[in-house]
Amino acid sequence: MPRGSLPGYVWDKAKGVYRRLLANGALGGTVSSDEIVGGLREIAAASEKTLGDLSVAVLDGGLTVNDGVLAGNMFLKDLYNAYSALARGGWSKMDFASWGRNGQLLRGEYKYWRDFMSAIASDKLSEAQTRARAALYVGKAYSRYWAEDRLMKLQNDEYQFEEWHSRDDPVVCFDCLALEALGKVPIGTIRAIPGDGTSTACRSACRCSVSYS
């Protein structure tokens, strides 16, 4: 996600949604939640491949452990902040607190990533194992959109209800299904965050979503 505004879209602060910007400068319709979730999942899939390729380069010796650590840290930082910025309406809507939340989480992730890079060099992981472990780091980043989105919605009186959706998440677990079975509930009822690694049994592999009304 490039820094700056999103061409073709405008953030509707009152409703907390994106709207299309028409060619004549007029505001168009609201961007659907399905379209947003699809975009979030596309970013996640592309990021899994990038981190997987980076990790395999360390496994094959084409990249040093130290270079793998530095490259992974930079990528994760940008990914966390991009997901958060998308939730908040763009880079310009990121405030000190939102940057700080990501910074605090990333400090722990950097340590885990460094340990992972060291394990690649010492434990002789297979390529499949390496890619699978690298993909887990993307889930935490994916969760940053939903965590920031939740904060925004809780602060907006427009929203009174929330609903968990597994949609076509290929790794949906029993926790996610149980949350989805709740249906539409008063906002604040669902405490789980998709992909945060602790809320559901599928952990960081979760690609569920939450809608508000």
Domain for residue 2, yes or no?
no
166: tokens are 């597994």
Confidence of residue 3 (pLDDT cuts 50, 70, 90): low
Domain for residue 4, yes or no?
no
**Residue 1 pLDDT > 50:** no
Domains contained in the chain, number? 1
How confident is the model over 127-153, as pLDDT tens digits?
A: 999 999 999 999 999 999 999 999 999
104: tokens are 């605090």
Domain for residue 25, yes or no?
yes
Q: Identify the domain containing residue 194 by its residue range.
A: 9-212
**Residue 60 pLDDT > 60:** yes
- 86-96 b/e with 16+ CB inside 10 Å = b? bbbbbbebbee
Domain for residue 207, yes or no?
yes
| Residues 205 and 48: beta-carbon distance below 8 Å | no
Domain for residue 91, yes or no?
yes
Strand, helix or coil for residue 115:
helix
Domain for residue 56, yes or no?
yes
Interval 31-44 mean pLDDT: 89
Domain for residue 146, yes or no?
yes
Q: Name the amino acid, one letter, at 26.
A: A
Helices (H), the chain: 33-59, 65-88, 96-123, 127-154, 174-181
CA–CA distance from 94 to each of 87, 104, 122 (Å)?
Answer: 9, 15, 39
In sequence order, the β-bridge partners of residue 17 are 12
Domain for residue 71, yes or no?
yes
The structure's pTM equals: 0.89
**Residue 178 pLDDT > 90:** yes
